[in-house]
Amino acid sequence: MNNKSKFKKKNINNLNFNSKVVHAGQNPDPTTGAILTPIYQTATYVLTEIGKNLGYEYSRTQNPTRTVLEDLVASLEGSKYAISFSTGMAAADAVIKALLKSQDHVVVCDDAYGGVYRLFEQSYRKYGLNFTYADTRYAENVKKAITSQTRLVWLETPTNPLLKVADLENIMQIINSENSTRKDENKIFSLVDNTFMTPYLFKPLIFGIDLILHSSTKFLSGHNQLVGGIVVVNDKLTKWYHEDELIKDFMGKPVIDPENNKQKTEKVNSLFTSLKFIQNSVGAVPGPMDCWLTILGIKTLAIRMERQDENANKIVSFLLGHSKVKHVNYPGLSSHINYEIAKTQMKGFGAIISFELEGGLEEGIMLMNNVELWYLAESLGAVESMITHPASMTHAAVPKEVREERGISDDLIRLSVGIESVEDLIQDLNKALDLI
C-alpha cells in the first residue's frame, strides 16, 4: 500500500481557531507516522528525471517544513496564501520591493515601529519612494494624505508603541472609493501589521485588507526562540487574479492533467506571485528549524493569548490606580479614543501596554532598572514578560524631534505581558515603584 494512503487528510475548514492552531496545514508524516512535522534540513532535492521533481528543487525556493508553516498561518488568517521570511523586517522589505517603484508614495501610521521608519526613511527614500505619516485613528487623515502617486497604505493597529487603533472600516471605504477611479496599475494596496493582535484576536482580511504582515518572532512563535516574518495575501479579492494561465513544463510545453487529459491551467494571484518572486530572488527565507519552532509555538497561540490578554487587563488596572503613574495607553480602556472601534474590530485588546510616570524619564529608568521578573529587552510577545524603553531601544532610529512630535516621549515605557502569575508581575512592578 502507498504510504500516502494510510492517513486521512484532515478537513480543517470548519474547525474552530483553537483546533486550527494545532492541526491546520499538518498531517502525520506519510513515511513514519511522526505526529510532528519533520524538520527537512536539506539544501536541495533529487530530481526523478530531467524536468521532474517531487514538488521541491532547492530550499531557497521552497522547503516542506516552510510549506507547512505558510499553510498554517494562511489558514489562521483566513487565506490560502502566506509567504515566510527570515525576519519581520525582511518581510516588510519584500512588500516594498514587490509592490512599489520609484516616485510611488506610501501613507504610514505615524508612530510605526522604529525599524519600519528606518527602512522607509534611510533605505528607500533615497531610491525615490515618498512617505507621509498620518494619525490613522482618524480615517480622514488617511484621505488627506493620499495623493495621485499613493500606492500603499501601511497600518499598525494597535500601533507600536502608543497603541493607537486604526478605523479600518472607514479607511478601507476611502481606499476602495479612490481605487474605483484608478486603473489597475495605479490602485492603492493596503497592509495591516497584525503582530500585536495575531489572528486569534483580530482578522484584518474581513475588512478587505490586501496584505497582513507578522513578525513571527513575537506572539506567533511566542517563546523568544527565533526571528522570522510572514506576509499573508488576501485570496478573496478578485482584482488581484489574472485569467486562467496555462501551466507549462521546463521545455515550455503545456502540462497535461492525467485525470481529464486536458491542459492544466491555474488562476494566478498577482500579489502572491510578486512576493514569491522577491522571496526566491532575494533569498531572505527562514531555515527549516526556525519554521519548525514557529509551527510548534503556534500550537499554544490561543491559550497564550487568552492568558496574556487577561494578565494585561489586570496590570492596566493596577497602573491606573498607582499614584506614581501619569498616563496609560491601552485599547481596552474606555478612555481610549477608539475604544468603541477596538471593541468592534478585535476579540480582545492584547498584551501590550505603554505608560508614563509622574516623575518622567528619571523615575522610568529607576523602574526599569529595579524590576526583576520583567526582562529589560527589545522584543515582545513571548511567554516571558518584558519591559522596554522605546526612545532608546525600539524607536532609537527615529529622530528625537520626530518621536516627540508623534507622542513617543523619552518618558514612555512599554510592557509586553507574559503568561506568569499576574499577582507576581504586579508585585514586582509595585516593589520597583516603591523604590522610586
C-beta separation of 398 from 405 below 8 A: no
DSSP bridge pairs for 413: 355
- The residues, ordered by sequence, that sit 6+ positions from 358 with a Cβ below 8 Å of its Cβ are 323, 324, 325, 326
Determine the Cα–Cα distance for residues 138 and 337; give it in Å rounded to an integer: 10
Residue 244: exposed, middle, or buried by beta-carbon count in 10 A (0-12, 13-18, 19+)? exposed
- Measured CA distances, 9 to 6, 66, 299 (Å): 10, 19, 18
Residue 351's DSSP bridge partners are none
Catalytic sites, residue numbers: 60, 113, 193, 218
Length of the chain: 436
Q: State how far the Cα of 36 lies from the Cα of 25, in Å rounded to an integer.
A: 11
Task: Please give the biggest Cα pair distance in the chain.
Answer: 78
Cell of 203: 482578522
Beta strands at 352-357 and 150-156: parallel, antiparallel or unpaired: unpaired
CB 360 within 8 Å of CB 314: no
